[in-house]
Structure 1
Amino acid sequence: MMKVEERDDVVIMNGLEISGFVDKAKRCTTCQNHVIYDDTFDAYFCASCNDWKEEKCSDSHCYYCLQRPERPLPSK
């Protein structure tokens, strides 16, 4: 089970820190856990499912989407 903590503007998941916040108003449609907003990629994801909750935008020059990895969290 993943341990998720939030301190100031940082979310810590099993020791991995990202800039963002846990959105208590949004839940993953698959597992019902709260989703996390990742400030680095300007996108929401589910830590439990390790899936982005929104598609990349259609702008081929978008800084955020160009840098966004296939999955939000690194493989174990």
Structure 2
Amino acid sequence: MGKKKVIYLDPDDRKWTMEDLGLSWESIGNLLEDKKEIEGIFLMKNGKIRNIVELPNHCKICLDPLDYNDEHDSIFCPSCDEWRESSCSDPTCEYCLARPAKPSNCK
């Protein structure tokens, strides 16, 4: 099925026609022929559009960019103040052993 174009004209108190404005359905179609339409799924937060390619680098909860902590070798979300990688299962791991519950508690 093709793309749809929906144009709403308010019928209440309308005292003009498209012809009065010098328009026709054909002229509107011609105006849009040269324009490329963008299709897809976009997420928006705080007025910024997030492309689906960027999502792995953003928090799945708040959609803000993720950050990396060198000291504990882990990714976290500064906005949520939560780690986005769980600790490893090695009880002697130097990175996970002293990792605080919240990233904001790091040195």
Q: TM-score, normalised by structure 1?
A: 0.63
Aligned residue in 2 for 1:33: 64
TM-aligned CA deviation for residue 67 of structure 1: 1.1
Q: How does 1:1-76 map to 2 (within 5 A)?
A: 26-74=57-105
Please give the secondary structure, in 2, of the residue aligned with 1:73.
helix
How many pairs align? 51
Write out the 4+ residue segments of structure 1 that deviate beyond 4 Å after TM superposition: none
**Cα RMSD for the two superposed structures:** 1.5
TM-aligned CA deviation for residue 50 of structure 1: 0.2
Larger Rg: 2
Unaligned runs of 5+ in 2: 1-55
Distance 2:98 2:71 in 1: 9
Identical amino acids, percent of aligned pairs: 42
Q: Which structure has more helix as a fraction of its residues? A: 2
Of structures 1 and 2, the one scoring higher in RCO (CA 8 A, sep 6+) is 1
